[in-house]
Amino acid sequence: ARLVRGRSWILMGAMVMVIAHGRPLTSFRKYSMRNLGQRAHVRNIIRHPWLLKSSERPRIHRCRSTSSSSQINGASGLKGVVLGDSQISVVGDGDKGLQYRGYSATQLAVQATFEEVAFLLLYQKLPSVSELKFFKDRLKDSSYLEPQIISMLELIPSTSHPMDVLRTGVSMLGALETYEHSQSVPKSTHEKNVRLMAEQLLAKIPKIMLHWYKFHSTGGPVLAKKSPSFSVASSIVEIFDINEPGAEAILNRLLILYAEHDLNASTFASRVTASTLADPYSAVCSAIATLRGPLHGGALSDSIRLILSFSDADAAEEHIFSSLKQKKIIPGFGHRVYRMGDPRSQMIKAWVREIATENPSRQQAFDVAERIEEVMLIEKGLHPNVDYYGSLLLHFLGIPERLFVTIFAMARIIGWSAHILEQQENNRLIRPVSNYVGPVDRPLVPIESREEHDMKENLQIPQKEIQVPMNIGNMPIYSQPRPSSTKKQQQPDENNLRISQQSQRYRTL
């Protein structure tokens, strides 16, 4: 199996098998697939397209092929591995670029709204005028936050990572959910409930971020603005008080480009969770936790830090040359699928250029970004990904850097939901296997005879200062713990137990 490199080896092996044993070619196909599958540990999970009949080959679009050895023996990071069929999106298939259910994503970004695209991904068709109105009315009715969620958000510290806030909020929504989610529910009812849960998340996630951010930035009660209709873009404008002309239209287009992108890390995580028949809230929590990672959603913050660290384009060029000589990774460049450039990136670049022309400081930042792009293309042949100019666009709109990734999540929630729904329609548990390379048949030594090692330094847990929340008015403050006493602790008197004011308030909460 390790020597297989192409069809020529398969054909040569088939000829030898037929000549030596007189077996037909179809028997060899079954024999070879069985043995290759066993040796490569991919039984019933992953099968290389070259080893299948043409009618059995997966109809998944890929921009380039991969070697047979990488798929059979276990590709690093599952690179090039085909999981299964999907009707949601196609990424990097030649000149097709990015498409959502057969529609060009860049064309949708220009001619449609984000809510239209959300309807498309959930219901597999573009809505009519009446369907879109009814859909947006449902989103508006679902956008209110329950009192339990509001109380919880006000207790989350302002120093928390915004993605932790979203993950906690979604988990709380799941705990309060009343829709039944079990195998006993009919398939049609289950699909309806999953779509309703997806609409709830699409409407509530912007409000979760709005309340938490406003509460800690203003220090008082949050009064949401009343609007005749609902849109995610207008909610983002409300969260950050954006005054940029045309900001809502720009955010609407950006959300569409971020809405879906095949089996990226967070989407794959959501499908793995969904394959266990977990509820959609649990699957979305898995996706949010994955998006929080610096190699996924963290690229937005890394890109803007790089661009803003230079005063002019010449300094940026010199630094990039130096970094490349030291083999450092430059954030915002390269993509596992797009080799000839991300079509979304060039579209966003045009929007950034338009915003930057009337502002000297913005123009300077754009010139720096463009010079870095030129150097990376000449020196490494790498194109910018969607996060590179996307981070600059969010910065120009006045959105804080640490909250960039939440915009990503607000858009991608609909893509996650579409994949969760598709996974559970024709479900099979996603359970790959690994290629074990560790030791085997080790003798078990009795504990008295095992070699001693000093593990105190490795096992010692550093002491952290625990912040105990106290509620004073509408502003949560966090008190530092009292220093531990060296005196011998006295046994508490059950009749006259002294409780500090701090502990009383904590128990009240």
Quote the CA–CA distance of 282 and 171 in Å, as a whole number. Answer: 7
Q: Inform me whether the pLDDT recorded for 218 exceeds 70.
A: yes
pLDDT at 457: 64
DSSP per-residue letters across 448-478: GGSPP---HHHHPPPP-PPPEEEEETTEEEE
pLDDT tens digits, 18-40: 444 444 444 333 333 334 333 33
pLDDT at 34: 38
Give me the catalytic one of 48, 296, 383, 395. Answer: 296
Question: 70 is written with which tokens?
Answer: 């990488």
* Per-residue pLDDT band at 150 (split at 50, 70, 90): very high
How many percent of the chain have pLDDT more than 70? 71
Rounded to 10 deg, the angle between the 247-258 and 114-123 helix axes is 20
Biggest CA–CA distance in the chain, Å, is 95
- What are the E-state strand segments in 360-505? 468-472, 475-479
pLDDT at 340: 75
Give me the catalytic one of 181, 335, 383, 419. Answer: 335
Handedness of CA 92, 96, 100, 106 (dihedral sign): positive
Quote the CA–CA distance of 332 and 300 in Å, as a whole number. Answer: 8
pLDDT tens digits, 364-387: 999 999 999 999 999 999 999 889
Identify whether the C-beta of residue 136 lies closer than 8 Å to the C-beta of residue 231. Answer: yes
CA distances to 76, 196, 443 from 263, rounded to whole Å, are 16, 23, 43
Q: Inform me whether the pLDDT recorded for 223 exceeds 90.
A: no
* 395 labelled catalytic: no
pLDDT at 490: 46
Instruction: Specify which residues 350 forms β-bridges with.
Output: none
pLDDT at 419: 96
* 454 labelled catalytic: no
SS percent in the chain: helix, strand, coil, step 5: 55, 5, 40
* Model pTM score: 0.74
pLDDT tens digits, 420-478: 999 998 899 999 888 899 999 999 999 999 988 776 666 566 665 555 444 433 444 44
Quote the CA–CA distance of 228 and 84 in Å, as a whole number. Answer: 42
* 164 labelled catalytic: no
Q: Determine the average pLDDT of the residues in 178-203.
A: 83
Which residues, including other chains, have CB under 8 Å from residue 329's CB and lie 6 or more apart?
none
* Per-residue pLDDT band at 229 (split at 50, 70, 90): confident
Q: Which residue has the tokens 């990672």?
A: 293
H or E, element range at 89: strand 89-91
H or E, element range at 91: strand 89-91
Q: Inform me whether the pLDDT recorded for 342 exceeds 90.
A: no
DSSP per-residue letters across 195-229: HHHHHHHHHHHHHHHHHHHHHHHHSS---PPP-SS
pLDDT at 183: 65
Q: Inform me whether the pLDDT recorded for 486 exceeds 80.
A: no
Say which range, 7-11, 266-270, 493-497, has the weakest mean pLDDT. 493-497
pLDDT at 389: 95
Give me the catalytic one of 261, 383, 387, 419. Answer: 387
How many percent of the chain have pLDDT more than 90? 52
* Per-residue pLDDT band at 108 (split at 50, 70, 90): very high
* Per-residue pLDDT band at 505 (split at 50, 70, 90): very low
Q: Determine the average pLDDT of the residues in 330-354.
A: 86
Average pLDDT, the chain: 79
